[in-house]
Chains A and B, each alone.
Chain A
Amino acid sequence: MLFQRKYVLALRRALYKYRYRKRSKGGEQEGEEMIKTENLTKEYNGNKAVDGLNLEIAEGDIFGFLGPNGAGKSTTILMLVGMIEPTEGKCIINEIEVARNPLKVKAIIGYLPEDVGFYGNMTAEQNLDYFARFYAMDANERKKRIEELLELVQLDGVSQKVGGYSRGMNQRLGLAQALLNDPKVLFLDEPTANLDPEGVFQYREQIKQLSDEGKTIFISSHILAEVSKVCNTIGIISKGTLIARGTLEELKNEFGRVGTENLRIIVETIEPLPEIEHEDIISAEYSEAKRKVVIESKSDLRDYISSELFEKGVKVKEMRMEEPTLEDVFLSVYRR
């Protein structure tokens, strides 16, 4: 029984994949717009929480929406899912304007709010069943779907009422809740906030699987590592405005050299190191009885260092170059 369901799921996934691949191969312009905002603005007491945001996210993308606390991520998502009305501008999802037709949009999206909440006096199944009744599903379909989802988020077999859930369990149920209607577009507001490492790992697997099914996924987070692991495109928001947009690579290239123009080369050896000199070297710090050096330089000097050491018969234990990490990129962009 269990095995059978898994089999069916896998088959369906494969089918989705096939269909999706075929479509993008078939000359159809890849990345039809699924989510779009035009001059989206939200004011709270004269302060702009979101300020003239223009976003375009293609169908099938996993979009990471990055920004520090209070940047306006949640506000943007709330407007996108039709929970609050924009002060100015509009949101369009699947060519439907959200503010004009919120119900039609809600029927095709899934939304995991930050700090998602449920009815504590009911079990996970009862909670999901309540929400599922707002869609066109009969009792059997609901039951099947809920079983499937609880298995996906590994809450099957939990008979406890939701009031007694841990925060991580709550968060996982939140994902199941967002997937009830098998949405085309998924909005996740800080989905890993309360998850343990194992939970985060499973969540990433689930996101990949959902993406394979062709869903467009919008993930907000303030943790870059989180977003970089699952997203293929990224937008960075700060103080309500979009300050960067592109794929991971594009962002790295665009912002990579900002603030950290220099490379760091770290060399560890078995014998003590000789002095290494080169015009590009800015500084060199020796440590561990001259068996380790951290060199800051203007260019990649690894070839040079390696042949220097080889000539002098010094055996190398490790040599690596540190490029600016995404973290650095992120911070440098934030701080501008």
Chain B
Amino acid sequence: MEAKGLFNVARKEFIDHLTSRKFLIILALFLVISAISMHQGIDNYNDRLERYKEQISQITGEEGIEPGYMPEKPSILLIFQMMSFQMSLLGAILAIVMGFDLITREKESRSLKSLLSHPIFRDEIINGKALGGILALVFAIGIALIISFAMLLLFSIVPDLNELWRIALFGVISVLCLLTYFSIALMTSTVSENSGMSIIYALIIFLTISLFLPMVGGMVAEIVVGEPPESPTYRIPPPPPTPNANENEQGEVIKPVKIEIPMDEEEWQRYEEESRAYWEKRSAIDGAIFTLVPTTNYLAVSSAVLSKNGGGLMFFGPGYRSETEGQDMLERIWKNILALIIFPLVFFAIAYIKFMRMDIR
């Protein structure tokens, strides 16, 4: 059979999302907030541009340009970076709201039994629901991008081709991020008895991966790797015996005196090596835990895409490492990209399996 059933389900789901009040309210909220921050971002950008022009005119006014002194032209992509923060919070809420009752509502209203009595495969239903949700997410983000684009034009800022491409990429990454939360909600909706339980489970998972994991991440890394190796310079000898502790009448605390032992070349080298290994290990564990956090992945990838040199500091600062090449960047964030793709797939797979085995009565 062709995918007729699948598309029918997807079509209905898509329309359902777009006409649902909760979707519209949250989307509107999201759009208003992004428009406001967009506005601020544009102001900020114009200020910078002004300063940049001043600097340029100063430089060109002087004799000869000193290399390395070239001020950087501000990028309009910074404006979109502001959007990514809202996207990761409000977008997550939007996605969860869209998904948490997709299956439970059908169970509660008993429409699932009616639906299944018509010639349709079960997997067409769950796939269609996923597809409809994805389309609605694409729609939401598309609208957000179109509005921000319109605002840019309103302020007579015209992005170049490269910037357009990056904005489009940013849109794709945003969809992936929201898709992660949507698939979590879809999963809890297939697993739960009712919509109430489903939203609670979805929120628990959301809070766990976006608040709890980053919090315990550092702790876990320390527990696994242990204390950092001690520097040989500051070895503290055992405190000297204090024969007359009572004599100290001023209540002064007697501190053990640090005695510097002359540096041992070999010992120092060993320390350096140990230390490097330690921090490497620790940051690897840290990083691994952080790739479990969709928001981190999203911010890492989107800031990489949006930063001017394609490189990246996670949170944009005043300076960019101009030596960073695209290759380098990819090396750094491929894990995050992979996680953004794998997460939705895993949650969707769980939802799929559970739905296929669900007892329909």
Write the residues of chain A forming the contact surface with B, with a CB cutoff of 8 angstroms: 74, 78, 81, 83-84, 103-104, 106-107, 110-111, 113, 115-121, 130-131, 133-135, 174, 177-178, 180-181
| B118–A134 CB distance below 8 A | yes
Min CB gap B103→A, angstroms: 13
- Write the nearest CB–CB distance from B21 to chain A, whole angstroms: 10
9 closest A-B pairs by beta carbon, nearest first, are A117-B110, A111-B117, A106-B119, A134-B118, A117-B109, A133-B8, A117-B111, A113-B113, A103-B119
CB-defined contacts of B121 to chain A, threshold 8 Å: 103
Separation in Å of the B298 CB from the closest CB of chain A? 31
Contacts of A106 in B (CB 8 A): 117-120
Q: B5 in the interface, Cβ–Cβ < 8 Å?
A: yes
Residues in chain B within 8 A of chain A (CB atoms): 1, 4-5, 8, 12, 16, 19-20, 109-121, 359-361
Give chain B residues whose Cβ lies under 8 Å from the Cβ of A115. 110
Question: What residues on B are CB-neighbors of A78 within 8 Å?
Answer: 360-361
Known A-B contacts A84-B361, A130-B8, A131-B115; A116 and B109 likewise in contact (beta carbons under 8 Å): no
Residues of A within 8 A of B19 (CB): 121
The answer to whether A135 and B113 touch across the interface, beta carbons within 8 angstroms, is no
Q: Which residue from A103, A120, A131 sits with its C-beta under 8 Å from B114? A: A131
- Using Cβ atoms and an 8 Å threshold, which residues of chain B touch A118? 109, 111, 114
Given A103-B1, A107-B119, A134-B5, check contact A84 B110 (CB 8 Å).
no
The smallest C-beta distance from B116 to any residue of chain A, in angstroms, reads 6
What is the chain B residue whose CB lies nearest that of A177?
Answer: B114
Q: Which residues of B lie under 8 Å from residue A103 when comparing CB positions? A: 1, 119-121
User: In whole angstroms, how far apart are the Cα atoms of A177 and B116 in the complex?
Assistant: 12
8 Å CB contact of B117 from A74, A83, A104, A130: A83
Q: How far is the CA of A120 from the CA of B120 in the complex (A)?
A: 21
Residue pair B109, A83 in contact (C-beta under 8 Å): no
Question: A113 and B111: CB pair below 8 A?
Answer: no
Of all chain A residues, the one with the shortest Cβ separation from B111 is A117
B52 to chain A, nearest CB (A): 52
* Contact residue among B4, B16, B111 (Cβ-Cβ distance under 8 Å from A134): B4
27 contacts between A and B (CB under 8 A): A74-B361, A78-B360, A83-B117, A83-B360, A103-B1, A106-B117, A113-B113, A113-B114, A113-B117, A116-B110, A117-B109, A117-B111, A118-B109, A118-B111, A118-B114, A119-B16, A119-B109, A119-B111, A121-B16, A121-B19, A133-B4, A133-B8, A134-B118, A134-B119, A134-B120, A174-B114, A177-B114
Known: A78-B361, A84-B361, A130-B12. A135 touches B111 (CB 8 A): no
Which of B19, B119, B360, B361 has the most CB atoms of chain A within a 10 A radius of its CB?
B119
- CB contacts (< 8 Å) of B113 on chain A: these are 83, 113, 116-117
CA distance A189 to B311 in the complex (A): 65
**Which B residues touch A174, using CB under 8 A?**
114
CB contacts (< 8 Å) of A116 on chain B: these are: 110, 113-114
Q: Give Cα distance in the complex from A134 to B8, angstroms.
A: 8
A296 to B359, CA, bound (A): 53
CB distance from A9 to the nearest CB of B (A): 23
Most chain-A Cβ atoms within 10 A of its Cβ — which of B12, B109, B113, B118? B118
Flag if B118 contacts A135 (CB, 8 Å): yes
What chain B residues lie within 8 Å of A111 (beta carbons)? 117
- Distance in Å: Cβ of A169 to nearest Cβ of chain B: 15
| Closest Cβ–Cβ distance, residue B42 to chain A (whole Å) | 39
**Chain A residues with CB under 8 A of B361:** 74, 78, 83-84
* A110 / chain B contacts, CB cutoff of 8 Å: 117
**Which residues of chain A come closer than 8 Å to B111, judged between CB atoms?**
117-119
Chain B residue nearest to A132 (CB atoms) is B118
Interfacial chain B residues near A74, Cβ < 8 Å: 361
Complex CA–CA separation, A78 to B16 (angstroms): 28
